[in-house]
Amino acid sequence: YGTMTINERNHLEIGGVDTTEIVREFGTPVYVYDVALIREQAAGFKRAFESADIPYQVAYASKAFSTIAMVQLADELGLSLDVVSSGEMMTAKKADFPMEKVHFHGNNKSKEEIRLAFDLNIGCIVLDNFHDIALVSKEAAKREQKMDVLLRITPGIEAHTHEYIATGQEDSKFGFDLTSGQVEEAIRQLQHDSYVNILGIHSHIGSQIFETDGFVLVIEKIFQELPQWKEKFQFVPAVLNVGGGFGIRYTKEDEPLRPEEYVTPIIRAIKKEAIKAEMDIPEIWIEPGRSIVGEAGTTLYTVGAQKEVPNVRRYVSVDGGMTDNIRPALYEAKYEALLANRAKDPVENTFSIAGKCCESGDMLIWDISLPEPEDEDILAVFATGAYGYSMANNYNRFTKPPVVFVENGQCHLVVKRETIEDLLKNDLPLYSPERV
């Protein structure tokens, strides 16, 4: 992955920094991000649009990994930002991110969140349902403040990584149904709204996708509807947002495309459909999350207790687990790993990597080949950059690990390790002191 190498001390190095040095300085578990790889991925997506000479926005889906430093990096890389909560919105604000490049998503936006979006003057709200329309329209009128919106449609296509299932009226909590008249009703409701402007259409077909057919299918579906919208409402979308979902490599079995390979067929399909429909090519937006940060992240753990179940399995426990990476427990997600302090040592056996939570399901990796792990070895688990830190939790009252950015031999702490004090700061005693 990215700038990873093994140095002359047989240690894994990321961004020119020896991982054992990172551990010495920050302890374990720790999330390490290879900044150069994040830059490369972002540049790849942008390059595809630029070489096609087409107006675009690449919005980083910050749900994959949102911290002030990451949002600042996204800004530096010329990305827009997809947020789904007040927390992610305020992270953008705190990072001094240009708020006109922020897009606000969610299937149940609260009034407070919508007010915040208006207060912060964000670029657009992605309307998900009729409740959203009512709240946003009311807020805009009350303030006499304009707001651009996208209408999120339910694409009726589900990407199951290697296949697409056209489910017609897809059973999903997100978006307006494309074929049953819900989108038309949404356009009708906003047609004469003097403050809310429908900038375009949004769709998102899924996540960890390795092919482009699903995107092309949904583009064709949307374009089928356009003539009717134009005829009935004189509505022509200026923006078409095809969402995120571009896959990454977790294990050798995964064969993701490069950013350009995902984007180019999307551009081609939209151009083709626009020409067919005799309309201007809309601005194309995408929302990659995982593919920007996923492979750039590595989690470092320390090896502790081991247990052998004779003739069955060897369990090797590390000092983290489902609290810093819930994906194996939640999705049976697979990961690769190696011993970072003995990176080239020959593989000796298969081991299963256990977390330290009080739950049998807290396993990070089943049956991985490694050299014989020893106490205090450092285990590096790869491709943990997306939905690792962002889905971290405090089960068993474990504290969240710190986040370190590495680049050009430099190490930079961007999130401090959570402390037990942090954990306890909102707790209140059973009885107020007066009552005791």
Instruction: Please identify which residue in 327, 342, 356, 400 interacts with ligand LLP, judged by CB under 6 A.
Output: 327
Report 345-404 residues binding ligand LLP (CB under 6 A). Answer: 386-387
Beta carbon nearer to ligand LLP, 34 or 287: 287
Beta strand extents in 69-140 (DSSP E only)? 80-83, 102-104, 124-127
Query: Contact with ligand LLP (CB under 6 A): which of 44, 175, 214, 243?
Result: 243
Could you tell me which stretch among 183-191, 240-248, 302-310, 423-431 binds ligand LLP (CB under 6 A)? 240-248
Site string for ligand LLP, 165-194 (x = CB under 6 A): ------------------------------
Please identify, among the stretches 89-97, 107-115, 191-199, 287-295, the one whose residues bind ligand LLP according to the rule CB under 6 A: 287-295
Told to check if 246 binds ligand LLP by CB under 6 A, we report yes
| Spatial CA neighbour of 26 closest among 296, 321, 298, 423 | 298
Given a contact cutoff of 8 angstroms between Cβ atoms, the answer to whether 398 and 367 are in contact is no
- Of the candidate spans 29-37, 113-121, 158-166, 284-292, the one that interacts with ligand LLP by CB under 6 A turns out to be 284-292
Q: Does 287 contact ligand LLP by CB under 6 A?
A: yes
Q: Which is nearer to ligand LLP, 26 or 246 (CB)?
A: 246
H helix runs in 277-386, sequence order? 290-293, 327-331
Please list the active-site residues. Answer: 358
Q: Which residues contact 199 (CB under 8 A, 6 or more apart)?
A: 124, 148, 149, 150, 237, 238, 239
Let me know: does 316 contact 373? Beta carbons within 8 Å. yes
Site map (CB under 6 A) of ligand LLP, residues 87-126, x = contact: ------------------x---------------------
Closer Cβ to ligand LLP, 266 or 303, answer by number: 266
Quick check: helix, strand or coil at residue 151? strand
Token pair for residue 350? 């298969």
The CA-atom distances, in angstroms, between 121 and each of 116, 140, 237 are 8, 11, 22
**Annotated binding-site positions for pyridoxal 5'-phosphate:** 245, 287-290, 387
Q: What tokens appear for 173 in the block?
A: 């909590």
- Interatomic CA distance for residues 37 and 26, integer angstroms: 22
Measured in degrees and rounded to the nearest 5, phi and psi for residue 220 equal -60, -40
Positions touching ligand LLP (CB under 6 A) are 61, 64, 82, 105, 204, 207, 243-246, 287-291, 327, 331, 386-387
